[in-house]
Amino acid sequence: MSLRTTPFHSRTAALSEGQAWRRWAGYVVASSYELSHDREYHAIRNSAALFDVSPLYKYLVTGRDAARLLDHVVTRNVGKAAIGQVLYTPWCDHDGKQIDDGTISVLGEQRYRMTSADPTLRWLHLNAGGLDVALEDVSERTAALSLQGPSAREIVQLAAQRDLSKLKYFRLTEAAIRGIPITISRTGYTGDLGYELWVDAEQALELWDALIDVGTPYGITPAGMLALDVARIEAGLLLIEVDYFSSRHALIESQKSSPLELGLGWTVAADKERYNGKAALDAERLRGPSWQFTGLTVDWNSLERLYADVGLPPRLPSQAWRTSVPVYEQGGRRQVGYATSGGWSPLLKRYMALAHLETSSAAPGTSVRMEITVEHRRKQATARVTPLPFFNPERKRA
């Protein structure tokens, strides 16, 4: 295969019923294992779904100035983070436009792991001038699994033979499963109770087998990207190259977004003296961002009517979509934004979308109109601005 396979491939390939694969950062990962992603989706909310997330880029940042470097690059305050903490953070160019988003794990004193969706090593080097810091790309060496869902804790506890009730949301701990050293972080991309397990690629398969063994009576279900895509929309989590463009890939200015425009204002530290994009972000915060990233709920009756007009029952996307769809003001003439991801939530029985809206049209409850193609014709369905996330179970943080 000319694309790379992950350290779990021999297991995941054996499970693939329909040979449905997707590319991710130069790797192939399962779109779904079963012929439909339905059960894999429900496992996220019902029991525990097991994702192979190895294609993430991973960097080890160590040394006396490690925190200084990271603080210079990302918008959150890394210096203030405690050992064992994980930060979700975006990072920006000097104009305050978002380059990427990922996590920073504080593994120990002067020891950090950064994950990203795009290669970031060069950017880190560019920013490390004069600093006492070592950068190592551990992407291939480190395999990662994400176990997400209400039974995730029971399974990981049983596998690691330890109590994890004290491991809080966005914290990590070192542990071992059947003698395999791993890092467990209480993180994920589903908005549910869940953990990510980081392991040396050499021992990846043993870890997979151990989890499947222990997890089977608890309903552990290997799941692919199609299921994940629905869950992450329910959770209101954005995806690079889908919901926003990296400012480094943008060809024109209007393709760029700032974290403030992406609903990530909470990740932009107010108390940091210097970081890439600070001046621009400070100014933008002062004048207020012109765009908001928010949820839309398509009004069912409105959708039903559009289809009834042509004699059909409402059709719903069977998978989450990721295309740009125009959103208009209530009157239906002036475009006020665009949705970038959407789909049917089987859990909430709601047609939801993630959208960029002009600030003036983005207040929760505002009625707008979203374009829907019905029988090859462009129509508009009423949609309501809904605060994100759509689904936020207590167990996520409890």
Partner 1 sequence: MTAAYLARAGKKVLVLERRPRVGGAAVTEEIFPGFKFSMFSYVVSLLRPEIIRDLDLARHGLHILPLESTITPMENGDYLAAWGDHDETRRELYRHSPRDAEAYDEYGRLMHFMAQAVKPILSMVPPDPTSLAPSDLAGLLRLGKHFRGLGAERLHALVKLMTMSSADFLDEWFETDVLKATKSASGIIGTFLGPRSPGTAYVLLHHYMGELDGVFRAWGFAKGGTGAVSESIAAAARSFGAEIRCDAAVAKVHVNGRATGVVLENGDEIAARVVVSSLDPRRTFLELLDPTQLPSDFVADIKRFKFRGSSGKVNLALDSLPSFTCMPGIGRQHRGAFSISPSVDYIERAYDDAKYGAFSRRPYMDIVFPSMIDPGMAPPGKHVMSVFVQYAPYHLNGGWSDAKREAFGDAVVNTLEEFAPGFKSKILHRQVLTPADIERITGLSEGNIFAGELALHQLFFLRPAPGWAKFATPVRNYYQCGSGTHPGGGIMGASGRLAALRILKDGL
Contact set with partner 1 (CB under 8 A): 35-36, 38-39, 42, 45-47, 151, 217-219, 300, 313-314, 316, 318, 344, 346-351, 391
| CB of residue 186 to partner 1, shortest distance in Å | 21
Phi-psi region of 175 (alpha: psi -120 to 50; beta: other; left: phi over 0): beta
| CB of residue 84 to partner 1, shortest distance in Å | 30
3-class DSSP state of 284:
helix
Other Cβ atoms closer than 10 A to 3: 10
Amino acid at 175: A
Whole-angstrom Cα distance, residue 76 to residue 91? 9
Nearer to partner 1, 170 or 300 (CB): 300
| CB of residue 151 to partner 1, shortest distance in Å | 7
Whether the Cβ atoms of residue 206 and residue 189 lie closer than 8 Å to each other: no
Whole-angstrom Cα distance, residue 332 to residue 383? 11
Nearer to partner 1, 88 or 218 (CB): 218
| CB of residue 311 to partner 1, shortest distance in Å | 9
| Residues 221, 223, 224: CA angle, nearest 5 degrees | 170
Nearer to partner 1, 285 or 384 (CB): 384
Tokens of 134: 């070592």
Nearer to partner 1, 31 or 89 (CB): 31
Q: What is the largest CA-CA distance in the chain?
A: 68
| CB of residue 42 to partner 1, shortest distance in Å | 5
Nearer to partner 1, 314 or 337 (CB): 314
Nearer to partner 1, 204 or 381 (CB): 381
3-class DSSP state of 157:
helix
| CB of residue 378 to partner 1, shortest distance in Å | 21
Pairing of strands 48-52, 142-148: antiparallel
